[in-house]
């Protein structure tokens, strides 16, 4: 391991940390900025992922679609006064090529309701591809692969 | 990112790791040593934090008050044979100045009762200020901001 | 902290990340490869660990015994269509000597059943000894110390 590798690893950890902090602070309008223009974003189950099934609970093929998604969520205006807390662990680089890196990480999301009730909301893996542009690392592709087949929510939110 | 930044990041991770290990091993008498003499320590809810409300579930304005807190907990001698496990994730430096760093991290605490029952005890953010003294990094200020408004405990313990 | 220490830390994080990913992907046949030939592996409770009691829920004193364990699990063929997700946090080096390092980390394991039900399956500490061989870091000794006295499972699985 040389210094460039060490620095890259910490930069990637910063990317995942900033991503989680953005979602947990409900700053959804900034969420698309973690992606490239022609990104692909998907939330799917491990079962469907392993079966090679496309689509998913959320499926977007551009940053614009992510912006639309956020607008739809804001317009739906479902008042669920909950808070989410992402815990991300086990980030690793599993491949490299064409100027991009394939990265994976595990996550658990805890949801806290206003009355204090906490539940395990989601657990799974991020299976991602990232590139480094002028403004830092961005997701070209992000597959949010849930350990469960469904999640307990009225409207699918970004994970 | 240069080597000094990399080393600093790992030192800060060591600080948070040692802090969590201290609490999880119930070594509360050592807990105040993670703070400066004139520290401020607070446990509060996200709701109160965002509303700018002072005070909290625990509020201390010096290391001595932290020692007093531990003595009170030991004297209360409430025998709750539980164990706590802190999972800390997403440490980041969000500001710098006056020889101090502003840092944040996410945490989830799992409580295990003697009969094996496990619950999500707390989730939230650390919003901290740290300085580096002769004996390493210490907290000048630590705001433990809970995602929930209350926690399930007879007596507030350090988090 | 010099560069060799930084690189070592990241290598150790890679070890724990690869270990967790192996278990979470149910690649149990590869699990013994994280250990040396004459390793000791044990799952025990914090209560028994602190009392200095040997043995445990799983106790193995060689890599071959770990292979046997995996074979037994596969033969038992209990179809529990669950998924496990390890979240590891707070890795630290607590000792060094004889060419080995003593390391510790906290973990929480979330289990997701096929119907989507998620539970906190286990929480605790890894109390390990690692050495660096030709093919990288390996566990010489791994004590999985559970915060609870029991875990909810038909057959003890590796953690």
DSSP readout, B95-129?
Answer: EEETTEEEEEEEEEEEEE-TTS-EEEEEEEEEEEE
| Residues on chain B bordering chain A, Cβ-to-Cβ distance under 8 angstroms | 1, 3, 6, 9, 46, 87, 89-92, 104, 106, 108, 119-120, 123-125, 147-152
Residue B132 Cα distances to B21, B104, C45, angstroms: 20, 16, 37
Tens of pLDDT, residue by residue over A13-40, are: 999 999 999 999 999 999 999 999 999 9
Read off the DSSP letter of residue C56.
-
* Residue B75, Ramachandran bin (φ over 0: left; ψ between -120 and 50: alpha; else beta): alpha
Checking A45-48 for CB contacts under 8 A at 24+ apart, the result is A45/A145, A45/A146, A45/A148, A45/A149, A45/A150, A46/A124, A46/A125, A46/A145, A46/A146, A46/A147, A46/C83, A47/A149
The answer to whether C116 contacts A87, with C-beta atoms less than 8 Å apart, is no
C-alpha atoms less than 13 angstroms from C-alpha of A102 in its C-beta half-sphere: 7
Task: With beta carbons under 8 A apart, name residues in chain A contacting B87.
Answer: 87, 89
What is the chain A residue with the closest CA to C108? A108
- Give pLDDT, residue A154: 57
Mean pLDDT by 10 residues, chain B (159 residues): 94 98 96 98 92 87 96 80 94 95 98 89 97 95 91 74
| Best residue in B4, B15, B17 for a mutation probing chain C (most C CBs within 10 Å) | B17
E strand or H helix that includes residue B11 = helix B3-24
**Which of C17, C8, B5, C137 is CA-nearest to residue A7?**
B5
The answer to whether A116 contacts B6, with C-beta atoms less than 8 Å apart, is no
Instruction: List residues bridging with B74 in a β-sheet.
Output: none
Calculate how close chain A gets to C122, using CA atoms only, in Å: 14
Residues B65, A146: Cα–Cα separation, whole Å? 44
Give the largest CA-CA distance in chain C.
49
- Give pLDDT, residue B17: 98
- For the cut 80, the answer to whether the pLDDT of residue A150 exceeds it is no
Tens of pLDDT, residue by residue over A28-80, are: 999 999 999 999 999 999 989 999 988 788 899 999 999 999 999 898 866 66
The answer to whether C92 contacts B119, with C-beta atoms less than 8 Å apart, is no
- Give pLDDT, residue A100: 97
Tens of pLDDT, residue by residue over B52-86, are: 988 788 899 999 999 999 999 898 866 667 899 99
Query: Are A6 and C5 a contacting pair, CB within 8 Å?
Result: no
Helix axes C3-24, A3-24, angle to 10 degrees: 60
Residues A148, A120: Cα–Cα separation, whole Å? 11
What is the chain B residue with the closest CA to A116? B148
Task: With beta carbons under 8 A apart, name residues in chain B contacting C120.
Answer: 110, 118-120
- Give pLDDT, residue A153: 65
Q: Is the pTM of this model over 0.90?
A: yes
- Give pLDDT, residue C128: 98
What is the chain A residue with the closest CA to C21? A90
* Residue A95, Ramachandran bin (φ over 0: left; ψ between -120 and 50: alpha; else beta): beta
E strand or H helix that includes residue B19 = helix B3-24
Chain centroid to CA C135: how far?
Answer: 19
Query: For A148, which of C87, C118, C120 is closest by C-beta distance?
Result: C118
Mean pLDDT estimate for chain C: 92
- Give pLDDT, residue B79: 62
- For the cut 60, the answer to whether the pLDDT of residue C62 exceeds it is yes
Residues A67, B56: Cα–Cα separation, whole Å? 37
* Residue A19, Ramachandran bin (φ over 0: left; ψ between -120 and 50: alpha; else beta): alpha
Reported confidence tier of residue A151, pLDDT bands at 50, 70, 90? low
**Which of C150, C25, C15, C156 is CA-nearest to residue C86?**
C25
Better-scored residue on pLDDT, A150 or C3: C3
Residues C87, A105: Cα–Cα separation, whole Å? 10
Residues A4, B149: Cα–Cα separation, whole Å? 43
Read off the DSSP letter of residue C151.
-
Residue B69, helix vs strand vs coil: helix
- Give pLDDT, residue C157: 86
Task: With beta carbons under 8 A apart, name residues in chain B contacting C147.
Answer: 83, 85, 110, 112, 118
| Residues on chain A bordering chain B, Cβ-to-Cβ distance under 8 angstroms | 3, 6-7, 10-11, 14, 16-18, 20-21, 24, 83, 85-89, 108, 110, 112-120
- Record the tokens describing residue A109, joined without a space: 């999301």
Query: Are B141 and B129 a contacting pair, CB within 8 Å?
Result: yes
Calculate how close chain A gets to C80, using CA atoms only, in Å: 14
| Residues on chain A bordering chain C, Cβ-to-Cβ distance under 8 angstroms | 1, 3, 6, 9, 46, 87, 89-92, 104, 106, 108, 119-120, 123-125, 147-152
E strand or H helix that includes residue C65 = helix C63-76
Task: With beta carbons under 8 A apart, name residues in chain C contacting A87.
Answer: 87, 89
- Give pLDDT, residue A54: 80
- For the cut 60, the answer to whether the pLDDT of residue C154 exceeds it is no
Query: Are C89 and C125 a contacting pair, CB within 8 Å?
Result: no
Instruction: Work out the percent of chain B whose per-residue pLDDT is above 90.
Output: 74
Task: With beta carbons under 8 A apart, name residues in chain A contacting B89.
Answer: 17, 20, 86-89
Neighbours of C142 (CB within 10 A): 23
What average pLDDT score do residues C13-17 get? 98
Angle at alpha carbon of residue C31, lines to B91 and B110, rounded to 5°: 40
Calculate how close chain B gets to C50, using CA atoms only, in Å: 11
Residue A21, helix vs strand vs coil: helix
Query: Are A124 and A144 a contacting pair, CB within 8 Å?
Result: yes
The residue behind tokens 């206003």 is A114
Residues B12, A10: Cα–Cα separation, whole Å? 13
Residues B53, B152: Cα–Cα separation, whole Å? 22
- Give pLDDT, residue B76: 82
- Give pLDDT, residue A80: 65
Query: For C10, which of A1, A87, A106 is closest by C-beta distance?
Result: A1
Calculate how close chain B gets to C146, using CA atoms only, in Å: 9
């Amino acid at each position: 391991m040389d210094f460039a590798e060490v620095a890259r690893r910490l930069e990637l950890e910063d990317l995942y940390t900033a991503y989680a902090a953005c979602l947990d602070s409900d700053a959804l309008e900034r969420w698309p900025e973690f992606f490239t223009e022609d990104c692909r974003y998907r939330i799917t189950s491990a079962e469907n992922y392993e079966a090679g099934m496309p689509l998913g609970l959320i499926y977007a093929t551009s940053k614009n679609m992510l912006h639309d998604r956020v607008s739809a969520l804001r317009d739906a205006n479902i008042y669920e006064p909950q808070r989410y807390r992402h815990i991300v662990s086990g980030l690793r680089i599993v491949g490299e090529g064409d100027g991009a890196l394939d990265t994976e990480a595990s996550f658990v999301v805890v949801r806290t309701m206003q009355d204090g009730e906490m539940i395990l909301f989601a657990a799974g893996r991020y299976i991602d591809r990232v590139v480094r542009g002028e403004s830092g690392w961005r997701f070209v592709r992000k597959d949010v692969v849930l350990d469960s087949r469904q999640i307990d929510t009225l409207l699918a939110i970004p994970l």
